[in-house]
Amino acid sequence: MTAKEGTREAGNAFDALLEAAVDGIIIIDEVGTVLRFNQAAERIFGYTETEISGGNIKQLMPEPDRGNHDAYLSRYMRTGKRSIIGGGREVTGLKKNGDTFPMFLSVGETTRQKARRYVGIIRDLSDVQASREKVRELEEQLLHADRLVILGELTAGIAHEINQPLTAIAAYADAGKRMINRNPADATSEIDSICERIAEQSRRAAAVVQRLRKLVRSGTVSKGQHDINQIIKNTLLLFEYEVKKSNIELSFYPLETAGELYVDEIHIQQIIVNLIKNSIDAISEAGSPDGRIEIRVMKRPSDVTISVSDNGPGVREEFRKQLFESFFTTKPKGVGLGLSICKTIAGAHGGSLTFAESTQGGSTFTLSLPLELIG
Ligand X SMILES: Nc1ncnc2c1ncn2[C@@H]1O[C@H](COP(=O)(O)OP(=O)(O)OP(=O)(O)O)[C@@H](O)[C@H]1O
Chain residues that interact with ligand X, rule: CB under 6 A: 274, 278-279, 282, 310, 312, 314-315, 323, 328-331, 334-340, 362-363
162 torsion bin: left (phi>0), alpha (psi -120 to 50), beta (else): alpha
What does the alpha-carbon distance between residue 81 and residue 270 come to, in Å, rounded to a whole number? 48
Provide, rounded to whole angstroms, the least separation between the CB of residue 284 and ligand X. Answer: 11
Q: Please give the single-letter amino acid code of residue 247.
A: N
Provide, rounded to whole angstroms, the least separation between the CB of residue 283 and Mg ion. Answer: 13
Report the residue from 24, 93, 338, 362 that binds Mg ion according to the rule CB under 5 A: 338
Specify the DSSP class assigned to residue 35: E
Provide, rounded to whole angstroms, the least separation between the CB of residue 138 and ligand X. Answer: 17
Q: Of these partners, ligand X, Mg ion, none, which one is at the site of residue 279 (CB under 5 to 8 Å by kind)?
A: ligand X
Let me know: does 313 contact 307? Beta carbons within 8 Å.
Answer: no
Nearer to Mg ion, 343 or 349 (CB): 343
Provide, rounded to whole angstroms, the least separation between the CB of residue 223 and Mg ion. Answer: 24
Provide, rounded to whole angstroms, the least separation between the CB of residue 252 and ligand X. Answer: 17
What does the alpha-carbon distance between residue 326 and residue 221 come to, in Å, rounded to a whole number? 21
What does the alpha-carbon distance between residue 364 and residue 360 come to, in Å, rounded to a whole number? 9
Nearer to Mg ion, 20 or 156 (CB): 156
What number of H helices and E strands is found in the chain? 10, 12
Specify the 3-state DSSP secondary structure of 53: coil
Q: Of these partners, Mg ion, ligand X, none, which one is at the site of residue 230 (CB under 5 to 8 Å by kind)?
A: none
Nearer to ligand X, 127 or 318 (CB): 318
The alpha carbon of residue 207 and the mean position of all alpha carbons in its chain are separated, in whole angstroms, by: 26
Q: Of these partners, Mg ion, ligand X, none, which one is at the site of residue 351 (CB under 5 to 8 Å by kind)?
A: none
Provide, rounded to whole angstroms, the least separation between the CB of residue 335 and Mg ion. Answer: 8
Nearer to Mg ion, 278 or 366 (CB): 278
Residue number, nearest CB to ligand X: 338
Nearer to ligand X, 27 or 337 (CB): 337
> Could you count the other beta carbons within 10 Å of the beta carbon of residue 77?
11
Q: Of these partners, ligand X, Mg ion, none, which one is at the site of residue 88 (CB under 5 to 8 Å by kind)?
A: none
Residue number, nearest CB to Mg ion: 338
What does the alpha-carbon distance between residue 289 and residue 77 come to, in Å, rounded to a whole number? 78
| Closest-CA residue to 21 (of 1, 5, 36) | 36
What does the alpha-carbon distance between residue 25 and residue 16 come to, in Å, rounded to a whole number? 12
Site for Mg ion in 275-314 (CB under 5 A): 278
